Amino acid sequence: HSRRLEKVPTNASRKLDIQNWLRSKNISFDESLLEVELLQIVNEHRSEYNKYTGIDEMAKEQNKIVLRRPPYHCELNPIELVWAEIKNTVAENKYYVQVC
């Protein structure tokens, strides 16, 4: 799956969480920095910590590359076309499950 090994702070993160993350990585910063400035520091180090779990490690051992596609994108995930067809058929024919 596409879960990250570790959650890296984002724009939605609180300043205290960003500071704690930087401290946990022994990345120096000035306590008086604004949240935006702290995020700039995080972004400088993002590539070191923004890694995926399991699958990427196994693929790397086998000299393979994992290609990640956007979820639910109908042109890149053909199953989405199948689901769209099923939903249309159900809607047109009014196939509904009646719950007692």
Q: What is the mean pLDDT of residues 80-98?
A: 81
Q: What is the per-residue pLDDT across 36-49, written as a single tens digit (0 to 9) for each?
A: 999 999 999 988 87
Q: What is the per-residue pLDDT across 1-46, written as a single tens digit (0 to 9) for each?
A: 566 667 889 999 999 999 999 999 999 999 999 999 999 999 999 8
Task: Give every CB contact of residue 14 below 8 A, 6+ residues apart in sequence.
Answer: 35
| Burial of 25 from C-beta contacts in 10 A (0-12 / 13-18 / 19+) | middle
pTM: 0.53
Phi, then psi, of 14 in degrees rounded to 5 = -80, 155
